[in-house]
Amino acid sequence: MARLEVENIHYGFGRHKVLKGIDLTAEDGECLVLFGVNGAGKSTLLNILALRYRPKRGSYRLNGQEVWDNPDYSRSQIVTIAHHSHLYGHLTPVENLQFFSAMRDLERTDEQIKQCVRDVGLSRFLHRPVKGFSAGMRKRVALARVLLANPPLLLLDEPYSALDHQGVQWLNKILNAYIKEGGTLIIVTHDPDRVAALPYRALRVSKGLLLADTVDADFREEEEMQVC
Ligand SMILES: Nc1ncnc2c1ncn2[C@@H]1O[C@H](COP(=O)(O)OP(=O)(O)OP(=O)(O)O)[C@@H](O)[C@H]1O
């Protein structure tokens, strides 16, 4: 369970100001989907929520606690799946998950770990090094970590990329169950069709701010890419 409260977050790279006063709240069992044009700042915001980037201004509280007061504990409450799946290529899915479990002090048994790998459709690949895997298979291994950790807060950056049709359906089933059990989920995607099966609140990162996604399509088409 995670209740997020973000207030007035600012973040930039050098002189390039990307986020200019982000306010965001998310409750237990809520799914937020972040949309926005390329370069709007969606991944930057996710990196802040994952405590990879520390904003110079603003506050970020998780269950009432300022995250930067105890960053190690805060990180232990979060699993992030970003563009790069952060797997060790020479290790098998089971070994990758054993390592992840040890790093997080999850104390999962080998059987629990194997079951998570089976649950993402990789039964035949339990003991093969990940370096030979396709992008979609790697994504499945990364998502097996979500099943293993069952974190209070889950941050997913383009989780559907590289997944086949069956993979998308399977992922949405897992995410629906996660939300129902009270997990808090934030997804970045460009594709509303992919998340249509989820009960979500749509937000849009635009011009450094986070807005309810009520802007009509004509306006969106006029939006320019916000790259520097
Ligand atoms: N490490 C970095 N160093 C410098 N500039 C960066 C860095 N990361 C992102 N930016 C810039 O910050 C802005 C926001 O990038 P970000 O990746 O957050 O956008 P995004 O909304 O996720 O885009 P996309 O939809 O293309 O993934 C862009 O202008 C980008 O060029």
Task: Say what the pLDDT of residue 64 is.
Answer: 94
- pTM of the complete model: 0.90
Residue having the nearest C-alpha atom to atom 29 of ligand 1: 227
pLDDT tens for each residue of the chain, 228 residues long: 789 999 999 999 999 999 999 999 999 999 999 999 999 999 999 999 999 999 989 999 999 999 999 999 999 999 999 877 789 999 999 999 999 999 999 999 999 999 999 999 899 999 999 999 999 999 999 999 999 999 999 999 999 988 889 889 989 999 999 999 999 999 999 999 999 999 999 999 999 999 987 655 445 545 555 554
Q: DSSP strand E in 50-207: where?
A: 57-62, 65-66, 78-81, 153-157, 184-188, 201-206
Task: Say what the pLDDT of residue 162 is.
Answer: 85
Report the distance separating Cα 26 and Cα 4, nearest Å.
5
Give CA separation, 2 vs 70, 94, 129, 203, 225, in Å. 15, 28, 34, 19, 32
- Cβ–ligand 1 distance for 225 under 6 Å, the answer no
- Cβ–ligand 1 distance for 18 under 6 Å, the answer yes
181 CA → ligand 1 middle, Å? 32
ipTM of the complex: 0.97
- Cβ–ligand 1 distance for 102 under 6 Å, the answer no
Task: Say what the pLDDT of residue 226 is.
Answer: 52
Report the distance separating Cα 33 and Cα 92, nearest Å.
32
Pocket-testing residue among 19, 43, 54, ligand 1, by greatest number of atoms within 8 A of Cβ: 43
Task: Say what the pLDDT of residue 216 is.
Answer: 52
Residue 202 in 3-state DSSP?
strand
174 CA → ligand 1 middle, Å? 29
44 CA → ligand 1 middle, Å? 6
Residue having the nearest C-alpha atom to atom 27 of ligand 1: 38
Task: Say what the pLDDT of residue 4 is.
Answer: 95
